[in-house]
Amino acid sequence: DAGVTQSPTHLIKTRGQHVTLRCSPISGHKSVSWYQQVLGQGPQFIFQYYEKEERGRGNFPDRFSARQFPNYSSELNVNALLLGDSALYLCASSLESPGHSYEQYFGPGTRLTVT
């Protein structure tokens, strides 16, 4: 079975531009979360979606937005890119079940470099 997939793998953008990152969850998983990881730190929570509804939002500016589609895939959009947005962007999916499976499974990430 395929794991979480993310595209693109790497991306180089210029300050002020806009970027869209994509994520496909594990088949059957209905919840998708986005995290940002900068070097030397643990991943920081950006958004969580379940059944196309936003479940949570981290402490990120409004330049960051996301959505989840009917097939449970998701997009993360970042507007007006800053140098500080350079990071590894991780997508994670989890299976919401009556027994509440709380494990989140991560994709390989998208490495964004802003110049």
Partner 1 sequence: DQQVKQNSPSLSVQEGRISILNCDYTNSMFDYFLWYKKYPAEGPTFLISISSIKDKNEDGRFTVFLNKSAKHLSLHIVPSQPGDSAVYFCAASVSGGKLIFGQGTELSVKP
Interacting residues toward partner 1 by CB under 8 A = 4, 33, 35, 40-45, 48, 55-56, 58, 90, 92, 94, 96, 100-109, 111
**Helix, strand, coil shares of the chain as percentages rounded to 5?**
5, 50, 50
Q: How far is the CB of 16 from partner 1 (least distance, A)?
A: 27
Is 34 or 78 the residue whose CB approaches partner 1 more closely?
34
Is 4 or 78 the residue whose CB approaches partner 1 more closely?
4
Is 18 or 100 the residue whose CB approaches partner 1 more closely?
100
Give me the DSSP letters along 51-89.
Answer: TTEEEEE-S--TTEEEEE-TTS-EEEEE-S--GGG-EEE
Q: How far is the CB of 56 from partner 1 (least distance, A)?
A: 5
Strands of the sheet containing 5-7, edge to edge, are 5-7, 19-24, 74-78, 64-68
Q: How far is the CB of 52 from partner 1 (least distance, A)?
A: 17
Amino acid at 18: H
Q: How far is the CB of 90 from partner 1 (least distance, A)?
A: 5
